[in-house]
Amino acid sequence: MKLKFETQKITYKDSFKLSSGKEIASCEIAFQTYGQLNKEKSNAIMICHALTGDQFCSGINPLNKKKGWWDILIGPGKIIDTNIFFVICSNVLGGCMGSTGPSTVDPKTRKQYGLNFPVITISDMVKLQVRLIDSLGIKKLFAVIGGSMGGMQTLEWASRFEKKVNAVIPIASSYRHSAQNIAFHEIGRQAIMADTNWKSGNYYGSKQKPKRGLAVARMIAHITYLSESALQRKFGRNLQNSKTFSFNFITDFQIESYLKHQGSSFVERFDSNSYLYITKAMDYFDLSSRKGGLTNAFKNNNLSFCFFTFTSDWLFPTSETKTIIKSLNTSNAKVSFVEVKSDKGHDAFLLDEPEFHEILGGFIEGQIIKQGI
């Protein structure tokens, strides 16, 4: 898979040690920046993307020519105002949009890694982000913000690198993946690996890619991002192109057509092996499994937190966030929490949700005053 686009990159020639104990000989991080870094370098915000996201969070994505995945929030005069802030968004380690991942050429073999790429974790992703801000000369971030897997990254920042950030905003996320979430991811991975074109991960250079398997994985995952009420409201049992059933296996229902479109469009911008690695990283994430559990993860933490959940999000329900908050209440952290009423499911954090945007803007304004930006 080779996608042509322009992005900023930094290559680290020294070995990058992973949580597994393995090392990557040379590591590259692809990123985009928006706005200007101030003289004091105190106005930087790190945006952490979700599973299928990328570094193009604002403006126009050079690949699909569509607006960035969080353009609704990030830009001049918007909630995350690039007239005020220097926004950084990087493609995660293991990704397929320029950062080192399974589709990257291994400098030792001069062939693409494929499954020879070592398994990674959320912690590894964040450690590479820390290298990035160090390279940019930023000692402390104004805030780190992310939804879903991006929220996991924000919590990793808070747990491991609390001295490098002032405020943390985890959205529609959790301190761990539930058994149900792991199950959905495993079905997706099996769909990819069952595709005969997957070839044990060695499909690079071949004209035939495991597109069907990846499309099915995307369709399965996409269902988890929505709510039953939103699906019913938008599609119901409406037929796609007819007033009667076809009585065969073509696309009868609008919801079928929608999911097929989600799958087919996804395979043009994402790498199947990256999907395997990133979903596994999410499954491994569990702050409560570390020594001392959640309480120790945020011990003596005096950061400012602002958590957001959505009432119809069954992938990362509000109860998961409340568990984190209970642990934070035993530390010195300053915690705000909002459950936003919405029927849009997990994907609500990416959509036009006025209450979410208004409260997020208020928290950021409060931090501007507090931090003296």
Residues annotated as catalytic are 148, 313, 346
Whether the CA torsion 350, 351, 355, 360 is positive or negative: it is positive
Strand partners, 86: 44
Residue whose C-alpha is closest to residue 313's, from 219, 233, 236, 228? 228
Residue 325 is classified by DSSP as H
Q: Give the integer Cα–Cα distance in Å for 154 and 163.
A: 13
Q: Give the integer Cα–Cα distance in Å for 22 and 354.
A: 45
**Coil, helix or strand for 353?**
coil
Residue whose C-alpha is closest to residue 122's, from 98, 89, 155? 155
Structure tokens at 105: 């050429």
Q: 């599973």: which residue's tokens?
A: 51
Sequence letter at residue 330: T
Strand partners, 165: 141
Give DSSP secondary structure letters for 227-295: -HHHHHHHTTT-BSS-SS--SSSS--BHHHHHHHHHHHHHTTT--HHHHHHHHHHHHH-BGGGSTTHHH
What are the strands, taking DSSP E only, across the chain?
A: 8-12, 16-17, 23-24, 27-34, 44-48, 74-75, 80-81, 86-90, 141-147, 165-171, 304-310, 334-340
Structure tokens at 270: 């994402």
